[in-house]
Amino acid sequence: MWFLNQSDCLEVLEYKEFRQEIKETVEGTNNIYDCIFKNYYLIP
């Protein structure tokens, strides 16, 4: 399990092709693990 804070997650998202869409989704949740799950497992 990774231990990241919200800003770390958003920083990683900066490298995603559709980063803005992802960031908007992530900013709507307080669950960092949900953020990681969405970005490393659900999004191709």
**For the segment 1-44, what is each residue's pLDDT rounded down to a tens digit?**
444 555 666 666 555 555 556 555 655 555 556 666 666 655 44
CA 20 to chain centre: 11
What is the pTM assigned to this prediction?
0.23
In a domain, 11, yes or no: yes
Identify the pLDDT of residue 40. Answer: 62
In a domain, 1, yes or no: no
- Residues 35, 26 contacting (CB under 8 angstroms): yes
User: Can you give the residue range of the structural domain that contains 35?
Assistant: 6-42
Overall number of domains in the chain: 1
Q: Indicate the DSSP class of residue 29.
A: -
- Residues 2, 29 contacting (CB under 8 angstroms): no
Identify the pLDDT of residue 39. Answer: 63
Task: Report d(CA 22, CA 36) in Å as an integer.
Answer: 11
Task: Report d(CA 24, CA 11) in Å as an integer.
Answer: 13
